């Protein structure tokens, strides 16, 4: 906001500098004998830029806003055509008056009669062309400023829309995560009340993070990793011996990297939901590592047991939310690859910390 105000405060300064340069042109030129123009002769030359200035600001302050930007283009053209012609004729007559009565050594010798009207027409047409360019320049400047302002407003609206959409997704994500975890604890109660009690205790730690510590757009990566480790241990309680769970988390405890919260947990939830079978051998391999200052990688490979039509509660919601969040938070800064076949499912998410790389749509 302060940067925008600073740019706006520069506009008057730019106007002053521009017109000062324009008005100072005669001071740098001499007459045909190499002598610099006198003050009286400069008065004649200043009439031209003064006329341009008046026409410019009539349009800049009034006509462009009142007519051109109000879709009254015909009126804008007619009014400016009238002004340009009047100013062109008036400028010609005024300079002629100064040239013959005020400047120089007496009145100027008269033109031949056959050349008077030709000279006047050429001079007036030249003035009309120059004044018309002044009007066009003014309109172009105002339209550029208007386009810039409209573009800033559009970007602000898009930013507000994205923030609102992201907040809405996050509000949907937390209940989704809680529902999945409660379902897991419910399954534990049937065969191991002691494990269920431990799971409730672990769940309280997770909820503390979900409800209180991840309300910022970004959280320290080390805290997110602690949350993931606690979640994995909570899920491990309900696994049978036929399920092979391996984790390889390589993140420095001193890492200062920040990351959007609750991104990787969605992939891990999906692995536990679709990768575990109590009737067949199954596996889940979780790898998370950070290349300091470059990227964060979360790769999960698991056996694949798609849910039946009777067990579709919440299926796919988390991954769809994850895709939307990545598009909003890390546009052009992530790559998400998914490979699957009848037996295995592999999901690999890379978040680039520096420059944009290949983007997964």
| DSSP 3-state of 80 | helix
Whole-number pLDDT of residue 337: 94
Mean pLDDT, the chain, rounded, equals 77
pTM recorded for the entire structure:
0.52
24 CB contacts (<8 Å, ≥6 apart)? none
Distance from C-alpha of 2 to C-alpha of 360, rounded to nearest angstrom: 35
Contact 315, 269 (CB under 8 A): no
Residue 187 burial by Cβ neighbours in a 10 Å radius (0-12, 13-18, 19+) = middle
271/95: higher pLDDT? 271
Indicate the range of 11-15, 80-84, 130-134, 191-195 predicted with least confidence. Answer: 11-15
Edge-to-edge strand list for the sheet holding 243-250:
243-250, 282-291, 295-303, 344-352, 334-340
Region 343-348: mean pLDDT is 93
Distance from C-alpha of 84 to C-alpha of 95, rounded to nearest angstrom: 16
Q: What is the pLDDT of residues 191-204, one digit of tens each?
A: 777 777 877 877 78
99-102: Cβ within 8 A, 24+ apart: 99/44, 102/40, 102/44
What totals of helices (H) and strands (E) does the chain contain, helices first?
9, 7
Domains along the chain with CATH numbers: 2-154 (no CATH), 192-352 (3.30.565.10)
Whole-number pLDDT of residue 231: 85
In this predicted structure, the answer to whether residue 110 has a pLDDT above a threshold of 80 is: no
Whole-number pLDDT of residue 21: 66
Distance of CA 267 to the CA centre of its chain: 28
Indicate the range of 15-24, 206-215, 339-348 predicted with least confidence. Answer: 15-24
Q: What is the pLDDT of residues 259-301, one digit of tens each?
A: 988 889 889 988 988 888 878 899 999 999 999 889 999 999 9
Q: Where are the beta strands (DSSP E) in 274-323?
A: 282-291, 295-303
88/34: higher pLDDT? 88
| DSSP 3-state of 153 | helix
Distance from C-alpha of 116 to C-alpha of 166, rounded to nearest angstrom: 74
In this predicted structure, the answer to whether residue 361 has a pLDDT above a threshold of 50 is: no
Distance from C-alpha of 296 to C-alpha of 331, rounded to nearest angstrom: 15
Whole-number pLDDT of residue 106: 46
């Amino acid at each position: 906001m302060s940067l925008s105000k600073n740019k706006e405060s520069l506009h008057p300064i730019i106007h002053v500098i521009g017109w000062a340069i324009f008005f100072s042109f005669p001071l740098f030129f001499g007459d045909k004998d190499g002598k610099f123009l006198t003050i009286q002769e400069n008065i004649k030359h200043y009439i031209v830029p003064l006329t341009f200035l008046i026409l410019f600001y009539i349009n800049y302050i009034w006509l462009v806003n009142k007519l051109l930007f109000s879709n009254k283009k015909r009126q804008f053209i007619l009014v400016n055509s009238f002004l340009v012609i009047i100013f062109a004729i008036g400028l010609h007559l005024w300079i002629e008056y100064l040239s013959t009565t005020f400047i120089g050594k007496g009145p100027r010798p008269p033109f031949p009669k056959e050349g008077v009207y030709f000279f006047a027409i050429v001079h007036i047409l030249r003035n009309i062309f120059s004044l018309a360019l002044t009007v066009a320049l003014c309109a172009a400047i105002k339209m550029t400023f208007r386009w810039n302002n409209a573009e800033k407003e559009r970007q602000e609206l898009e930013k507000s829309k994205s923030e609102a959409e992201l907040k809405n997704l996050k509000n949907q994500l937390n209940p989704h995560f809680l529902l999945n975890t409660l379902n897991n604890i419910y399954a534990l109660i049937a065969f191991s009340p002691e494990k269920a009690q431990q799971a409730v205790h672990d769940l309280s730690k997770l909820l503390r993070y979900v409800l209180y510590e991840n309300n910022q757009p970004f959280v320290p990566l080390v805290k997110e990793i602690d949350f993931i480790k606690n979640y994995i241990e909570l899920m491990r309680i309900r696994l049978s011996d036929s399920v092979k769970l391996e984790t390889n988390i390589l993140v420095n405890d001193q890492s200062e990297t920040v990351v959007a919260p609750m991104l990787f947990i969605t992939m891990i939830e999906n692995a536990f939901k679709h990768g575990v079978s109590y009737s067949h051998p199954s596996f889940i391999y979780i790898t998370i590592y950070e290349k300091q200052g470059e990227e964060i990688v979360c790769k999960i490979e698991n056996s694949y047991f798609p849910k039946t039509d009777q067990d579709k509660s919440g299926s796919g919601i988390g991954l769809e939310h994850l895709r939307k969040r990545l598009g909003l938070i890390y546009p052009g800064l992530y790559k998400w690859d998914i490979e699957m076949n009848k037996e295995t499912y592999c999901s690999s998410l890379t978040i680039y910390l520096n420059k944009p790389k290949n983007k997964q749509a």
